[in-house]
Every structure is written in C-alpha cells, then in structure tokens.
C-alpha cells in the first residue's frame, strides 16, 4: 500500500514524472535552498531525497524574497533526452501585485548539470510545459491581472518556440491555477487547481478534442477535494499532477495537509500525497473524489531505499563555505548572519518538521563576544513567527516572535559555562500543539504554542489586502546571528532528529 502523505512535512505543489523505471517528484521550496526538492522512487511507495535542483545562485537568487515568496510550483517533464524544469520565482505577491518571473532549465540527467535558466513569457505563475505527440512543446501558465479589483484571469497557452501568440484556453472560475495538459485517447485533458490552496482546494479536470479548446468539465465534478468533509485526515487536497506506470496504471500526485484540529492550523504545512486513478467513461477519477490515506500500490517490485542521512535546507542563501561548513564527524560550523527579520543573508540551517511529535537535539560550542551575537536552536516558520533558544552574553535566552512581536520567555544565566567554552546540549520537543526547549537534558519551565508555526497563522490579510502568505510549514534547525558582522562562529555536533 501507498501510505499518505508519501512526503510528510513541507512538500507542496508536487510535479510527478516517470522516466523508464524511475519516478521523480519535484516540490516547491519558496525561500529555502536548495530550490525545487526532488525525491526518487521505483515503486511509488518508497521515496528517497535527491536534494534540490536549484542549489546555486547561477540557477536561483532568493536574496530579499518575502516570506513564502521565491520558488512557486515547479513543473518537471522529460522530452528529447532532456529533463525540463519550469519554475516561478515570486519577488512580490502582496497589495494586489505579483512580481514574478518564470524560468526554464534543462539537464541530460536528474543530477544535472542544469543549464543556465532562460526566462519565459507570461504574466503569471504556475508555469508548465506540455510536449505534444507531434514534437511541439507548449507553455501553460495562469494569468494574473494586477489592476484593482482583478486578479486571477484564467489559463493561457502558447508554443514554447516560434513566437506564437498566447491564447486564453480557460477563463478563471474560482482561483484557477496550476495547469497541466495530458493527451489520452484522442482527447486533451486540462487539469487545474481551484478554490485556493486552503480548505476549499480541489483538482478539476476538463477535456477537449482540440488543444486550444473549448474545454468541458467532467460531469462528475472535481476529481479530488476534501472541501465538503472536515473529518477527512487529509485536507486541502489539490494541485494535482498525473503519471502513468510502465504497466498502464495511473496515479495522481497532489498536495494535502493534516490540521491539528478540524479545519485548524497545519504546522506540518502542505505535504505530498498520491492517489490511484481509474478511467471511467473517458475521465480520470479518484475513488469517491476524496484523498485516501492508504492507496493500493502499482504492480511494481517493492524498492525500499537505505535510510537517508541529514536532510538540511538553508534560508534565502545557498550553503557555501563562506558561511557554513560540514565536517566528517557530522558537525557543522556556521558563521553568523543577519537578524531574524533580515531577508538577504541569514545563517539558518534547518530541516522540515515531518511529525507532530519529535525532538531535535544538538551540542553547540559558542562564545559570544558582544550583545550582537547569538547561536542556538530554533523552531521556525518565517521571519515573523519563530522560537529561538540561544547562547548570548546574557546567558541562555529563549525568545519568541509572534507575528513580529518579540518576547523573552526564559533566561538561564551561564556566565561561568560560557567563559569555559564548553559545549552546551540544547534541545526542542514538539508534543502536538505544545513546544518545549531543554538545556543539558533538563526541560525549561516554559510551554510554548507550536501552532503559531503554521500556514494559517502566518497568513496575514488586512482589509482584504494580502500582507503575508503562509506556504512553507515548520522547520527545526541551527541558527547563528551576528548583527554587527563581527565574524562570530558556532559549531554544532551530534545533532539528532527523532
């Protein structure tokens, strides 16, 4: 059986692809490097991380992007011996504007090397490619109209090469986005995401005999949604992508979320799930039109992978020796960076939160020289919502930020300890909605609200105007701050995530 979500934690907007016997699943990364995470499977059950495709500034520059900006909705395809990756980079999404550019990069193998990105046309995002049977490749994207009172404006299609003009093939119905086209049995099937990426999210399918339309809806309604049933374990089901197995079976990859309470906060963010698809009366359909937790796997040999190693991401800048180095003893040394609200050069190395109950522990060696320096561990959502237990000149200080309002929750005076320069064992533990920190095995006497590290809490919409989105899910990691740029470093060892 396939057990959903197949990629727990922050793995939204899945684009699934089969090349021979290999399946690849690419997901959005927003302000985190490496951009566009890719997982690999040979049975759709067991997945291993391959890292990210956009791991260097040549391919992606996230400096200054807003929270939940950056890389939106990648599309991974294969044609003519090359992998094609299309991705959007969002620089602004607030106040009724979308400053976004779509790019294409290609590679002969999933490991690369990836070509220098080429900017694509289109006044919108969620760009994708369709490689037709005659060899023509088309570009699709949702159109965004920034004029006051406008917004989502439908789906456009145009040839990738040759200078053909764009054609609107579907008008906006209900936040229509995330387009993919498939050609099956003489029909063109247009799959779109609708209803927004929250609890009204859904996958809709339309078809036409002509690529340019007109397209008609599946009379059975949405292919997949959880909008009508808050009791389903998987919520927010939408943004789908189809794949066909070697034996002709069909599956749908889609995003989903697991709130802590019915229609409540999703600390784990939007995750990736897979559903089985049956063709009924010429339409691809999921049983009941709802996301299932357990799904029959395809008739493929089981292919488990060895346990993966550490799976770190970095915030707004790629991991490079000028600020982060890993050694053979599984230690990491981090040079301090900007404040929590800086968007150019923070020094945060973190991993996705993948379970409602887990612990992260590490031993940190650090001697702060001034009040501008700190190093420790963090439970992090975005620049406005986080907790940080850090060694400072004031001792061991636990600070939180709640929509930008900072609070010192607890302080442990450690003057003698810091002077000696010996490592301090720091830990954090998620226990459902409760978050606790620890020092040298002793839990600090503070219980914190883990649910502020959620997509819903990060959303800020004032008087109908978007100020901030919450698209990324929670992280746990290692954070070093050096606000005056004095060159402080901290070394972390024996870091464990359980």
Residues marked active site are found at: 13, 177
* 231: Cβ contacts below 8 Å, ≥ 6 apart: 262
Q: Do 138 and 132 meet the contact criterion of CB atoms below 8 Å apart? A: yes
Give the Cα separation of 88 and 70 in Å (integer): 8
Please check whether residue 125 is in contact with residue 111, taking contact to mean a CB–CB distance below 8 angstroms: no
CA distances (Å), origin 250, targets 155, 208, 218, 234, 286: 25, 20, 17, 20, 10
d(CA 48, CA 467): 36
Identify any residues that bridge with 289 across adjacent strands, giving them in sequence order: none
How far, CA to CA in Å, does 125 sit from each of 74, 98, 172, 296?
10, 9, 14, 33
Q: From residue 108, how far is each of 48, 79, 83, 112, 353 by CA, in Å?
A: 20, 10, 6, 7, 32
Which sign does the torsion angle of CA 170, 174, 175, 180 carry?
negative
CA distance linking residue 377 with residue 350, whole number of Å: 9
User: Residue 228: how many CB atoms within 10 A of its CB?
Assistant: 11
Question: Residues, the chain, total?
Answer: 498
- Using left for φ > 0, alpha for ψ between -120 and 50, and beta otherwise, residue 263 falls in left
Nearest 5°: the CA angle 235, 274, 83 is 125
Radius of gyration for the chain, computed over Cα atoms and rounded to the nearest angstrom? 23
Q: How far apart are CA 432 and CA 166, in angstroms?
A: 48
CB 344 within 8 A of CB 338: yes
Q: C-alpha angle 122/123/126, rounded to 5°? A: 75
């Amino acid at each position: 059986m396939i057990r959903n979500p197949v990629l727990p934690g922050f793995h939204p907007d899945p684009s699934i692809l089969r090349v021979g016997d290999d399946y690849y699943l690419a997901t959005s990364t927003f302000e985190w490097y490496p951009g566009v995470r890719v997982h690999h499977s040979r049975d759709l059950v067991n997945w291993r991380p391959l890292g990210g495709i956009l791991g260097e500034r040549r391919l992606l520059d996230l400096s200054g992007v807003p929270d939940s900006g950056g890389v939106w909705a990648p599309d991974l395809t294969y044609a003519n011996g090359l992998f094609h990756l299309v991705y959007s980079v969002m620089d602004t999404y607030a106040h009724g504007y979308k400053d976004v550019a779509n790019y294409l990069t290609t590679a002969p193998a999933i490991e690369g090397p990836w070509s220098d990105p080429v900017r694509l046309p289109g006044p919108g995002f969620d760009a994708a490619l369709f490689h037709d049977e005659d060899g023509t490749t088309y570009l699709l994207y949702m159109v965004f109209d920034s004029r006051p009172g406008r917004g989502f404006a439908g789906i456009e299609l145009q040839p990738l090469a040759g200078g053909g003009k764009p054609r609107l093939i579907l008008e906006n119905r209900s936040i229509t986005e995330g387009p993919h086209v498939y050609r099956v049995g003489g029909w063109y099937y247009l799959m779109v995401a609708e209803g927004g990426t929250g609890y009204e999210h859904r996958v809709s399918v339309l078809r036409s005999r002509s690529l340019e339309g007109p397209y008609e809806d599946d009379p059975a309604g949405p292919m997949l949604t959880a909008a009508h049933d808050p009791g389903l374990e998987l919520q927010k089901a939408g943004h789908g992508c189809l794949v066909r197995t070697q034996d002709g079976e069909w599956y749908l990859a889609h995003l989903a979320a697991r709130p802590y309470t019915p229609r409540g906060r999703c600390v784990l963010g939007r995750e990736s799930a897979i559903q089985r698809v049956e063709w009924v009366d010429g339409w691809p359909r999921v049983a009941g039109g709802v996301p299932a937790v357990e799904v029959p796997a395809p008739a493929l040999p089981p292919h488990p992978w060895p346990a993966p190693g550490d799976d770190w991401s970095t915030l707004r800048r790629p991991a490079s020796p000028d600020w982060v180095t890993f050694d053979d003893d599984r230690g990491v040394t981090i040079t301090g960076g900007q404040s929590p609200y800086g968007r150019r050069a923070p020094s945060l190395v973190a991993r996705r939160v993948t379970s409602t109950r887990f612990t992260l522990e590490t031993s940190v060696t650090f001697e702060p020289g001034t009040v501008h320096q700190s190093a420790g561990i963090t439970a992090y959502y975005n620049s406005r919502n986080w907790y940080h237990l850090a060694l400072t000149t004031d001792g061991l200080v636990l600070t939180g930020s709640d929509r930008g309002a900072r609070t010192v929750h607890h302080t442990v005076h450690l003057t003698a300890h810091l002077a000696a320069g010996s490592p301090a064992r720091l830990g954090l533990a998620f226990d459902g909605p409760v978050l606790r920190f620890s020092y040298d095995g002793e839990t600090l006497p503070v219980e914190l609200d883990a649910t502020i590290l959620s997509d819903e809490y990060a959303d800020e919409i004032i008087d109908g105007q978007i100020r901030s989105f919450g698209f990324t899910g929670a992280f746990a990691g290692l954070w070093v701050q050096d606000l005056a740029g004095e060159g402080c470093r901290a070394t972390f060892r024996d870091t464990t995530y359980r």
